[in-house]
A = this chain, B = another copy of it.
Amino acid sequence: MTASTSAKRSPEGGRRVVTVALTPPSLKDNTADADRLMQGLKQQLDTDEIRIDLGLLKRIPASLRQWDYGARCLLFKERSGHLLLGMNDPREPRPMAGLAVDLGTTRVVLQLIDLADGRVLADDAFDNPQIAVAPDVLARIHHSETAAGLAEMQAMVVEDLNRALAAMCGRRGLSIKDVYLVTVAGNTAMSHLFMGLPPRWIIREPYIPAVNSPDLFLAAELGVRIHPRGRILVFPNVGSYFGGDLISGILFSGMNEIEETAILVDVGTNAEVILGNRDWLIACAGAAGPALESGVARMGMMAAPGVIDTVTIDPETRRFRYETIGGLPPRGICGSGIIDLAAHLFLSGMLDIRGKLVPEKCGGNLSTVDGMHHIVVVPATDSATGSPLMMSQADIDSLIRSKAAMYTILETITLSVGMTPRDLNLFYVAGTFGSFIKPRSAITIGMIPDLPMASYKALGNSSLGGAAMALTLADPMAEMARIRDRITYIELNVNQELMNRFSAAKFLPHTEPSLFPSVHPWG
């Protein structure tokens, strides 16, 4: 799952950027300039209503005369009618651009898009600067309970966004005034902080966001420096714990438009799962019950140069082989490497079905530190850190809980609609983590169902992908609303039945091996 494949639909750019050639006014046809322009646009757009900002209106008479009554117009479909966002000389070669923002809790990822054809003009990313004030969401919300704290949080991310955008524009020879639209996909808390909305009640029972479906805002109102009349569209959320980043991911996957029931798993700070098709969507989040807490998420370690992302054990020699990012000397193991490692430890018999290290099978790779078994992946001599790279029994136990939690969620959500995980034919994995894990290893440890490899589709950064798509869709607000309104958010009911499923999933691959027919330990 290294190559990022996606269900991305082709942008309908032809309907967003429209070039009109108007008949110049005469004594016989003395329609006002703005109204003449709107008539021309309405002929091409099948719309009754086009709104024009005052600032743009002021420029229309001189511009139309200067451009011989031709104009390249950028339109945005609002809830009803269209908004004329920008206007250019049809001969102007510079594109009209939009910015897609994946507003992550830890990382903010940007993509500059040509609004006419959906082409990517530039990419960039930066760490969410709010981390400096408060690393986790809860602390950021507490910091934002005063108006000053909220303003500070909002300004921090906007300032870095402005800086990054200006740099991206600069690299492409564009001005920030060539950027007319920003789409922002983030979780509910991040979206609220970005909009400067009080997040206080998100984290207090009964967990109420300020807004679920925000309107289109002037970018200037949020301090975002693009074209002075540019707009910002923040993805709607379903509730405090199901945010716009997931709506964006669903949009990007296209699962909401196909007949077949698909599942989308997004592992970020939380693990979120969405099951559905063009008729219905069911969602739940992994941090839903105490048994699953600190579960799936912990595996999502950062991939970086020198980090081991692939581990295999040679069936003959039982020796470890690994690959590091960038081929540098190893200095750690990221999530995908850990899953690989666990899978191969199990296949080789070094790990039993309960997830416990088997000393007699581990041989020289076993080390005991403070009375706890560790498996040594890289000896100190080969390690970039000078210390051996190891995984403790406690780390493995944690991984087992994580994978069991994941499988339990998948089983519970599919059972809720009368399916089982193995009935799925389309399994989208989103997030950085999803892009790197190998489905074969994840199946081996029983983390994900035993489906044919072709069923697994890595979406990459689906939150960013959906935000970029929204920039060129004919009616993004309606599409977002359609997704949002169709989602049924279910809280995982942590009852005995779920705990039984969780216990069964804590084995490798599962207490019921027939669920994983493709997994064959080397024995």
A51 and B79 contact, CB distance less than 8 A: yes
User: Roughly how many angstroms separate A55 CA and B215 CA in the complex, as a whole number?
Assistant: 12
A38-54 interface code vs B (CB 8 A; 1 in, 0 out): 00000000001101111
Least CB separation from A26: chain B residue? B206
Least CB separation from A62: chain B residue? B198
A206 and B58 contact, CB distance less than 8 A: no
Q: Quick check: is A200 within 8 A (CB to CB) of the other chain?
A: yes
Given contacts A26-B206, A54-B221, A195-B54, contact A32 B81 (CB under 8 A): no
Least CB separation from A197: chain B residue? B58
Given contacts A205-B27, A206-B30, contact A211 B79 (CB under 8 A): no
Q: Quick check: is A170 within 8 A (CB to CB) of the other chain?
A: no
What's the least CB distance linking A360 to chain B, in Å? 52
User: Roughly how many angstroms separate A81 CA and B54 CA in the complex, as a whole number?
Assistant: 20
What's the least CB distance linking A202 to chain B, in Å? 9
A32 and B206 contact, CB distance less than 8 A: no
Q: Quick check: is A325 within 8 A (CB to CB) of the other chain?
A: no
Q: Quick check: is A214 within 8 A (CB to CB) of the other chain?
A: yes
Query: What B residues does A195 contact at CB under 8 A?
Result: 54, 57-58
Q: Quick check: is A376 within 8 A (CB to CB) of the other chain?
A: no
What's the least CB distance linking A73 to chain B, in Å? 16
User: Roughly how many angstroms separate A53 CA and B240 CA in the complex, as a whole number?
Assistant: 21
Q: Quick check: is A504 within 8 A (CB to CB) of the other chain?
A: no
Most buried by B among A57, A81, A211, A214: A211
Q: Quick check: is A80 within 8 A (CB to CB) of the other chain?
A: yes
Least CB separation from A215: chain B residue? B51
A208 and B49 contact, CB distance less than 8 A: no
User: Roughly how many angstroms separate A61 CA and B114 CA in the complex, as a whole number?
Assistant: 37
How many A residues touch the partner, as a band? Answer: 35 or more
Least CB separation from A240: chain B residue? B30
Query: What B residues does A48 contact at CB under 8 A?
Result: 79-80
What's the least CB distance linking A15 to chain B, in Å? 19
Contact of A211 among B32, B218, B239 (CB under 8 A): B32
Q: Quick check: is A176 within 8 A (CB to CB) of the other chain?
A: no
Q: Quick check: is A33 within 8 A (CB to CB) of the other chain?
A: yes
Query: What B residues does A31 contact at CB under 8 A?
Result: 208, 212
User: Roughly how many angstroms separate A209 CA and B208 CA in the complex, as a whole number?
Assistant: 49
Given contacts A79-B49, A79-B81, A213-B35, contact A61 B198 (CB under 8 A): yes
User: Roughly how many angstroms separate A55 CA and B217 CA in the complex, as a whole number?
Assistant: 10
B54 and A210 contact, CB distance less than 8 A: no
B34 and A222 contact, CB distance less than 8 A: no
Q: Quick check: is A25 within 8 A (CB to CB) of the other chain?
A: yes
Q: Would you list which residues of chain A between 146 and 169 have a CB under 8 Å from chain B?
A: none
Q: Quick check: is A67 within 8 A (CB to CB) of the other chain?
A: no
What's the least CB distance linking A146 to chain B, in Å? 12
Given contacts A197-B58, A201-B61, contact A211 B51 (CB under 8 A): no
User: Roughly how many angstroms separate A218 CA and B54 CA in the complex, as a whole number?
Assistant: 9
User: Roughly how many angstroms separate A58 CA and B211 CA in the complex, as a whole number?
Assistant: 9
Query: What B residues does A61 contact at CB under 8 A?
Result: 197-198, 200-201, 208, 210
Q: Quick check: is A60 within 8 A (CB to CB) of the other chain?
A: yes
Query: What B residues does A29 contact at CB under 8 A?
Result: 206
Query: What B residues does A95 contact at CB under 8 A?
Result: none
B49 and A214 contact, CB distance less than 8 A: no
Query: What B residues does A58 contact at CB under 8 A?
Result: 195-198, 210
A33 and B210 contact, CB distance less than 8 A: yes
Q: Quick check: is A207 within 8 A (CB to CB) of the other chain?
A: yes
User: Roughly how many angstroms separate A197 CA and B32 CA in the complex, as a whole number?
Assistant: 12
What's the least CB distance linking A424 to chain B, in Å? 29
A280-292 interface code vs B (CB 8 A; 1 in, 0 out): 0000000000000
A-B contact pairs, 18 of them (CB 8 A): A25-B206, A29-B206, A30-B239, A31-B208, A33-B208, A34-B210, A34-B214, A35-B212, A48-B79, A51-B79, A53-B215, A57-B215, A58-B195, A58-B197, A58-B210, A60-B210, A61-B198, A62-B198
Task: Add 16 more A-B contacts to A54-B217, A54-B218, A57-B197 (CB < 8 A).
Answer: A25-B206, A26-B206, A27-B206, A30-B240, A32-B212, A33-B208, A33-B211, A34-B210, A34-B213, A35-B211, A35-B212, A49-B80, A52-B215, A54-B195, A54-B222, A61-B197
